[in-house]
Amino acid sequence: MGIRRILTADEPVLREKTKKVSHFDASLHRLLDDLVDTMRDAPGIGLAANQVGVPLRVAVIELEEKVTELVNPQVVRTSGEVLDWEGCLSIPGFVAEVKRAARVTVKAQDRHGKEFRVKGGELLARALQHEIDHLNGALYIDYLESLEELVRVGEHPSGVEEEQAAGI
């Protein structure tokens, strides 16, 4: 188990654009394993490498017991629009309503450098957009007109799923 410390929104590394991975080596594999361990420990449904202080284009998502490892991910297609609740492990204890594309297709590489595509709607679409934002130095609070739109977890209206409140 490799549980790393999750940085909070005030840390500068969360605001930097991360670097493309070019070596698919043991240290990348260790990073991916640690991201999954750290995400599960939190617990959350997604985690980007810069959230643990590593400025590389690497993120993980776990939904419905399926782990998706994303290396150098990029959105290649979006459609629709949906407003829903969203949280982030780097902004613990809060959620807000954020508008996102309803469906996305993302191109990425796996831990060995092999290219693949992942298509998602609903929470997977939201998690993919949220993680790629992290890798570009963006946080969901950037979409809010005011930080007063943040709602404390537990005080949000019904309809927000537990896993969304947990953080992406």
Query: Of the two residues 17 and 114, which places its CB atom closer to Ni ion in the complex?
Result: 17
**Helix/strand/coil (H/E/C) assignment for every residue in 146-161:** CHHHCEECCCCCCCCC
Site of tokens 């902004």: 91
Tokens of 70: 């994303």
Q: Which of 49, 58, 70, 88 binds Ni ion (CB under 5 A)?
A: 88
Stretch that binds Ni ion, among 9-17, 30-38, 62-70, 85-93 (CB under 5 A): 85-93
Residues 131, 145, 149, 155: which is the catalytic one?
131
Site of tokens 């969304």: 164
Q: Is 131 a catalytic residue?
A: yes
Q: Which of residues 96-155 bind Ni ion (CB under 5 A)?
A: none
How far is 3 from 56, CA to CA, in rounded Å? 18
Per CB under 5 A, residues contacting Ni ion are: 88, 168
Residues labelled catalytic = 131
